[in-house]
Structure formats: C-alpha cells, structure tokens
Amino acid sequence: MDNVSFLAQSAFPLVWILVPTIGALVRARHATSPRQRLEIWQRWWAIGALGIGSLWMTIAFLAFPDTMATAIGFHRTPFMFEIAFANLGLAVMGFRAASGSAHERVTIGLGAGMFLWGALAGHLYQWFAGGDHAPGNTGGVLVNDLLIPAVMIILAMRSRRLRATPRPTVKAPA
C-alpha cells in the first residue's frame, strides 16, 4: 500500500469528529446563550460523531466485510458481524442522545465508552504486541475510540452543571 493510500485510509475515521465539530462551530455562532450553544454541541456530537459514525461502521462491516477485514489487518471472521451490530447499538444510542437529558447523555457516553475504549485497548494491543499497522487499526480510529465517548461525557457533565447553576434574578424596583 502506498503512503498516500495508507494515510487516507488511516485518517478517514476523523470525518466523524471533524464534520460534527465544524457543524457545531458554525451553528453555535448563532446561539443566544451558553446553554443553547452547549445543546447545539451535544446534538451535533451525538448525531454526527456517535450516531452517523457508528451507523457507517455498521454498514461497512455488513456490506463490505472483506474490505473491512483488510482495513483492520485481520482475516474475515464471524466476529465482524457482531461488531457491526455493536456499532448499530451505538448508533441508536447516539440518535437517542440527541433528544435525551444530560443524565441520559452521560449514561450513553459511558456505554459508548465501554465499547470504544475497549476497542481502543484492543487496537493498541494489536499494534504493539501483534505488529498490526493496518490503517483501520491505527491512526484515526484510535482518536475516535478515545474522543467520541469522552467528549460526549464532558459535554453532558457540563450541561448538568450549567442546569444546576441558578440563574441570577433581577429584582424589580419597589
């Protein structure tokens, strides 16, 4: 595989972080309050990063299993079918988080983290112990596995704190 192809394949997963980040930045410029801005960020992240990113992985593992096996540096196995449906579960959770409460979003972020952080540990193990330098095992996938649930949890925790902070009231003159 040439360097340009490797770099492109390795970097592709970053689309699921970059698009929601750019979308949230553009949309949040028009927010009228910190709460509204935070809500915009949470929805873009839930739908774009976790929801659509995981749905893409579901489709890729189901429709193109040989390509995905090559991308991750493994032979095709029945386990890939299970990974597809685990990603479908993440996609459903991401779409649910878009309209969920801050408490639900923390829970969804933690649930996604359990799968994605476990996957991150597996990728790192395969990289260092097994010498798997395939583009689907290193690069952008590592960033996604770490950041998607972490950012989701951080945004939801920030939202919980923001809601718990009392708004200042202005007394009417007597």
Per-residue pLDDT tens listing for the chain (174 residues):
678 888 999 999 999 999 999 999 999 999 999 999 999 999 999 999 999 999 999 999 999 999 999 999 999 999 999 999 999 999 999 999 999 999 999 999 999 999 999 999 999 999 999 999 999 999 999 999 999 999 999 999 999 988 776 665 666 665
Quote the CA–CA distance of 130 and 119 in Å, as a whole number: 15
- Measured CA to CA, the distance from residue 70 to residue 68 in angstroms comes to 5
CA-CA distances (angstroms) from residue 163 to 36, 135, 159?
Answer: 11, 41, 6
Q: Token digits for 85?
A: 């449906």
Q: Is residue 137 part of a domain?
A: yes
Handedness of CA 160, 143, 93, 38 (dihedral sign): positive
| Residue 172 forms part of a structural domain | no
Residue 171 lies in a domain: no
Q: Is 170 domain-assigned? A: no
Q: What angle do CA 97, 62, 51 make, to 5 degrees?
A: 15
The answer to whether residue 168 is domain-embedded is no
Number of folded domains that form the chain: 1
Range of the domain at 114: 3-163
pTM of the model: 0.88
Residue 174 maps to a domain: no
Assigned domain for 133 exists: yes
11 part of a folded domain: yes
Distance CA 86, CA 63 (A): 15
